[in-house]
Structure 1
């Protein structure tokens, strides 16, 4: 079973507010003691909090219900009830929370960032608030307000500077392994990468950027074929996209068009991202074949050639990525 979980659905409930007190003072030497009921405490919130040390929603996978504490009732002597304890749900950076209607309740982009997903119910007012010239001894107080309740979906979208886009066996995992310390699984069969892998790529002058090797796309991914949306949702959060077309593809430009079309069908806004087209496994090509492949592409999509095995073209590829990120 994979340790990477990027989608969970949990039934959540914030705490009810405590009831206000309707207490009347009845002390031996105070014959006309008035209302002294305190307010009820606020119910606990349900809060989502970013944790940079978490990279998966796995800790939440088997959580079915989350319920915050209710507020305590008010007491005599104008004693306010304690607020209910908030429930903190720690999630990785890049997590989005949605309600049952699909509305986004909040998203986490920074470590320590907090978003209140469900507010606790307000505590009721005690009877001291209802004293008036015509009603010196009100014998009623407000009940606490109910908390919120419903299912919340947590969805993780990988945050990275560069997202690798390509068919299975395009060489994405090999590239990540060759330019970073990441150790993705690499083998000669489809869908080697079943979960996203992140690697920090070192650049000149001690600079670096984050590269994401994301599960390979296939034609029809936007309709859910293959790994479908599980792949595509992570593309949305990458700053730029690096398309990888393997040198041994039958039709290089057509393969790029298929990839581009899958992104368009899933979310047309993805095509507004800056991207680089590259041809991997360039060690299989001589100069003449490289010219023929480059000629297949329009001028604005001219590919960069590289080989993760020999290192050919990797410095130039890093330069192009850095320029797009910071140019």
Structure 2
């Protein structure tokens, strides 16, 4: 396996909560992402899963530098994106692109498909107008559309077709890394399969590196080489899909997997039901963030934050009871 193309190091994002007083300094913060670190190697797909509100999409925007981190660094091809100026960041963004969740909201309804897909080329001043038009036609064919679609508007397409347009736009600048933020969750199941297969084909064709964010564990299992499980702004477990699905070690990961629907009604499956609600990221629990819902929690879990430690192979787990839970 090649060296890491993307390194996220101790990234935090704490959003200030404004006080009712007009000029008062904020005293409370929403800890959306709380000290996350991982690496992604060239050509691999890292899946990120977790409940709604765990910080997955915020993390994606931090990697893209759509929002700046409170602390930590995001290193792409040896360059720390978090330390770049806006002009330098604009150049660096040619190497990292994003496919957003909502195919209906992420396309400007006033522009044609040709204008939408050509937009990155115009912004970065790539090629002449004729070369850009030809490039748009090539990209549309690559994602399974035709060149006559170029003159149409977004409202004339289905959700799956719109997401193909988004993918074509993301590929326009030949990026090294593509972040897919819940990019198939708004689509029908049959269309989801088509888009996921398209993503895999494009990865092989253009040597792409993916960060694939989803709450659908079956989708993540199908497309990912490694998987990171997030809970309340932290990564609690990370490993290959075999390690995560066949040998989960963190209680939260086990609870998530137990909620996946059975493939056959004849298969017996034991559910792990979590008690209580997800704590507020504005006031997360001390120690392990999961201890209030964990059936195995000890006094140590309430006071001491567990580190993300190597269990075996590439399997990393953040749990004080690692190896002691049957």
The alignment's TM-score, normalised by the length of structure 2, stands at 0.23
Q: Is the radius of gyration larger for structure 1 or structure 2?
A: 1
The alignment's TM-score, normalised by the length of structure 1, stands at 0.23
Higher relative contact order (CA 8 A, sep 6+): 2
- Larger helix proportion of the pair: 2
